[in-house]
Structure 1
Amino acid sequence: MSVPLTQIPTPHDTTSLTLVEQLVQWARRRIEERVFRPGMRMPSIRKLALDKGISRFTVVEAYERLVAQGYLESRRGSGFYVRERLGAVPTAEIRTIAAAAPAPATIDVVWLLRNMLHTGARPERSPGLGYLPGRWLDGDLITNALRTLGRQSGAQMLGIGTPQGFLPLRQQLQTRLEELEIGASPDQIVMVSGITQAIDLISRIYVKPGDAVIVGDPAWFQMFGRFASQGARLVGMPYTPDGPDLDALESLVETWRPKMLVINSVLQNPTGTSLTAAQAFRILRLAEAYDFIVVEDDIYGDLCPPSYPGTRLASLDQLKRVIYLGSFSKTLAPNLRVGFIASAPEVATAVSDQKMLVGMTSPELNERVLYKILTEGHYRRHVERLRARLDGVREKSVRMLEKTGMKLFLTPAAGMFLWADTGVDASALAAAGHEEGFLLTPGSLFSPLQSPTTWMRFNIANCGDPELSTFLCRYLDSVARRAS
């Protein structure tokens, strides 16, 4: 795979550097940010010199310096390739058991996470982000809750908290779960610092080296590394526009006898699909027949209108075999970091004990803030406004992507994501977008195999910049011209 070409840094960035040093700096920065990833082929000396208007000698000298510094390797007769450097931030190694690719693959989530931080201040140029833009959220909900807490006695903030979390908040969550027809007492609810910690705790308790864990293919990429660190063998479950391919799932569980299935039941990331009641029943029957745990991640549930046709597994199972996860990072603030696990009593006890071993308690201040927000009556109206704003941009984003020639997996009636077939190598498109100042999310990140793919996820709340459409059309047209 070749990396895309861009201009060398502008003179005001590199006034004291030679052309060779500028080119080295340009390449190093993109390698360190993992825009250019290990194994990618650099442009040929002739092509890079031509595109940048510099001499071949300059390119040769820059490439040789990059080889000496450990950033590139030279392969006789083939060219220069990005090298996996010792001492670089390690990628998470995934043990995969897909029959077609039994060898371990490498999943690199550092590239996206690092660049999310770099471009988070400009969400309008970040259609690859997994969060809503800050201008859509309501900071007053949080500041008002903090002011209320500030007027209370400070003595209550001096304790260490409890492993299960702030009790009044767990009681409030019991009421919210009842609205979803999920029965859970406060003792069955454990507060955590977001879905990521929830997955971490569950994997530590239940997943042993060699255990098979079924995840979506595609699915939320950050959990792949967590399960891999426990020695799990990840098995990808394919998706159709109607939801998970349950015939394929049945074949997978027959073959691999998994320990666990992890699934978004509503507004799946990244496809936007939701389970029907029939699909949910079939998944639970398989779980019972083959004795595996179902982890239901409902992080997008509040973006789903009450009338939306989606079924929670926990509402059918009542937490006998299903472990239900929820969070408020998508609707309130990404850095609030308050989530929860609802489960059978014995599971909640195990999670609470594991939480103490890993980090004692979760921050009670955050939990008290969330409690104030949920009980002061403004959160529901806030969520309704978010749904309305998403509804207002969804069709526009669909038209923009289709205008570029992309084909959508489906057009969900709710949620924040669109899963689109770009028709080109999505990783190369993401790298080219980064050069233009856009954060795009290649579909390979959402696969437990990190297989090359033409698919890409788009956040409809961040697709409004007209320059995005211009860039996508220009890039896709250029690829089509080269292919013809």
Structure 2
Amino acid sequence: MSVPLEQIPAPHDAPQLTLVDQLVQWGRRRIDERVFRPGMRMPSIRKLALDKGVSRFTVVEAYERLVAHGYLDSRRGSGFYVRERSAPALVAKGETSAMAALAAEREPVRNTIDVVWLLRNMLHTSSPEKGPGLGYLPGRWLDGELITNALRSLSRQSGAQMLGFGTPQGFLPLRQQLQTRLEELEIGASAARQIVLVSGITQAIDLIARLYVKPGDAVIVGDPAWFQMFGRFASQGARLLGMPYTPDGPDLDALETLVATWRPKMLIINSVLQNPTGTSLTAAQAFRILQLAQEYDFIVVEDDVYGDFCPAGFPATRLASLDQLKRVIFLGSFSKTLAANLRVGYIAASADVAKALADQKMLVGMTSPELNERVVYKVLTEGHYRRHVERLRARLDGVREKTARMLEKTGLRLFATPPAAGMFLWADAGVDSDGLAAAGHEAGFLLTPGSLFSPHQSPTTWMRFNIANCGDPALPELLSNCLEKASRRSA
């Protein structure tokens, strides 16, 4: 049985790798990710040479190395087959240091689809078009020149400025710029006393969990919601409670029942373009949430990581603009709009809360990288960021309806009318989405099953699709075939 091919991904240290090394790396990765499964026949030497644009000798040498490393079996007259391995293959003598490092980093293949499985494969997916389950925009949509120009500008400054330790609150000029941006959202926050810079939303959630959550505390999250925070609160000993969503947003009657029953420590919510449903709070919903927070005395953590995807006049209400940071802790980040690995985010809160979080940040990791914060400051103040974000919105607008229609045509049902902004669609496949994700992985696609968005990892038929990464022409056929097979099995 043959398997589909992809282009060899360009490794970070590609100049140090020969064509044979690159082909070996490609084969190992696909085997470790179980796209090439035990017993499968590898592409013929002639076919792989044509597909990859290399000589047959290069393919033969790569296959022989994979045999030596324990990844393949050679069968005379038949070809090369993926070997069944009970333990990770040993690194063969003479393997390049770059290849050895890759082997050391890679975890054993898991049989279940969980958050770690998804995160690992997100980092290894070589083609965004084959990553409908990715949580970020493809690199070709972003503007690397914004980052490059900021770095050039910083390189002309005195190097002595980069040698200090920084402060737990973060680079002050960036905090001052963020104060101005928050004022545009009608959120008042003092740069000196109420804004703390962090290494992305993930660190912000970590600091909040460490500071406020004790074993046994109830924490309300969306069901569905951003999966990476679930494990952080669970490791703190929290009891996670899922707040269901409707096509109009969070089910506030269910929320009231939860808070009356469990008296939670906090609620965490995307008020704008919620991940994964794409819904946004109305003013009436926001007022009711704040009323419940006041009545039952819980903290509201408002994650606004997708806020910059909202055009002017978009019908959404931020809780912090109503509460003015009395009970709301507001989070923002530039990871979605500038670069996933830039890792610059911020927390805006009351002065007492901001001070406590800055102290917690110092205890956990001292300060966040000031170089990254200076880069973001340059990008924001040189006047190009707004136009860049407008271009991103326009590109998302250009594919949203097309992607929605494609998903419906293949047999999926959308959660609601496609939102007017944002990057995600939440769709019902009608079959176990874990199985659909596994089938997609076999074909080289990274799909995100809805079970990962449940605080209890419950099986579900729902899936999240990143509309920027659904352009591969093989995706509709894959979805249609998988749904048809599942339907035949159930019949």
Same fold (TM over 0.5): yes
1:344 corresponds to 2:419: no
Equivalent residues in 2 for 1:421-436 (5 A)?
421-436=428-443
Aligned-pair distance for 1:483? Answer: 2.4
What pairs with 1:340-379 in structure 2 (closer than 5 Å)? 340-379=346-385
Deviation at 1:27, TM superposition (A): 10
Partner of 2:386: 380
SS of residue matched to 1:127? coil
Which deviates more from structure 2 when the two are superposed, residues 20-29 or residues 369-378? 20-29
Distance 2:160 2:483 in 1: 60
How far 1:33 sits from its partner (Å)? Answer: 3.3
Query: Partners in 2 of 1:426 and 1:274 — Cα distance?
Result: 25
Q: Which residue of 2 aligns with 1:320?
A: 326
Q: Which residue of 1 aligns with 2:466?
A: 459
Percentage of pairs with the same residue: 77
Question: Scaled by the length of structure 1, what TM-score is found?
Answer: 0.82
**For each residue in 1:80-136, what CA deviation from the matched residue of structure 2 results, as whole angstroms up to 9, or x when unmatched?**
xxxxxxxxxxxxxxxxxxxxxxxxxxxx310100000110x3101000000000000
1:148 aligns with 2:147: no
SS at match of 2:73: coil
**Are 2:303 and 1:243 equivalent residues in the alignment?**
no
2:40 maps to: 8
Moved more, 467-476 or 311-320: 467-476
Secondary structure of the residue aligned to 1:24 is coil
- Using the TM superposition, give the Cα deviation of residue 28 of structure 1 relative to its aligned residue in structure 2, in angstroms: 7.7
CA distance in 1, matches of 2:237, 2:128: 36
1:103-142 paired onto structure 2 within 5 Å: 108-119=114-125, 121-142=126-147
1:24 aligns with 2:76: no
Say whether the 8 Å CA contact 2:197–2:344 is kept in structure 1. Answer: yes
What is the alpha-carbon distance in structure 2 between the residues aligned to residue 337 and residue 4 of structure 1?
A: 30
CA offsets, 1:289-313, max 9 Å, x none?
A: 0000000000000001121100000
The aligned counterpart of 2:112 is: 37
**CA distance in 2: counterparts of 1:356 and 1:415, whole angstroms:** 34
Pairing partner for 2:166 from 137, 161, 166: 161
* Rounded Cα–Cα distance in structure 2 between residues aligned with 1:9 and 1:137: 38
1:203 pairs with one of 193, 199, 209: 209
Give the letter for the 1:480 counterpart.
Answer: S
- Secondary structure at the aligned position of 1:175 is classed as helix
TM-score normalized with structure 2 length? 0.81
Q: Which amino acid aligns with 1:17?
A: D
Deviations 1:375-418 (A, max 9, x none): 00000000000000000000110011001110000111100000
Cα distance in 2, alignment partners of residues 482 and 426 from structure 1:
15
Shift in Å, 1:469: 0.7
**Do the aligned partners of 1:4 and 1:428 also contact (CA within 8 Å) in 2?**
no
Q: Tell me, what secondary structure is at the counterpart of 2:157?
A: coil
Name the structure 2 match of 1:50.
none
Of 187, 194, 199 in structure 1, the residue corresponding to residue 200 of structure 2 is: 194
1:74 paired residue number: none
Query: What displacement does 1:17 show?
Result: 2.0
Deviation sequence 1:22-64 (CA, Å, 0-9, x none): 4524998999333x218xxxxxxxxxxxxxxxxxxxxxxxxxx
1:42 is matched with: none
The separation in 2 between residues aligned to 1:4 and 1:137, in whole angstroms, is: 29
Deviation at 1:229, TM superposition (A): 1.1
**Mapped contact 2:42–2:81 kept (Cα < 8 A):** no
The answer for unaligned runs of 5 or more in structure 2 is 1-33, 46-62, 90-105
Residues 228 and 312 (structure 1 numbering): CA distance in 2 closer, same or farther, change over 3 Å?
Answer: same
Checking the alignment, whether the CA contact within 8 Å between 2:206 and 2:232 is kept in structure 1 is yes
Equivalent pair of 1:270/1:457 in contact (CA under 8 Å): yes
**RMSD of aligned C-alpha atoms?**
2.1
- Is 1:175 equivalent to 2:235 in the alignment? no
Aligned partner of residue 128 in structure 1, secondary structure: coil
**Would you say the 8 A contact 1:199–1:223 is kept in 2?**
yes
- Secondary structure of the 2:84 match is helix
SS of the residue 1:323 aligns to = strand
Summarize deviations over 1:128-155 as a string: whole Å, max 9, x none: 0000000000000000000000000000
What is the distance in 1 between the residues matched to 2:189 and 2:359? Answer: 19
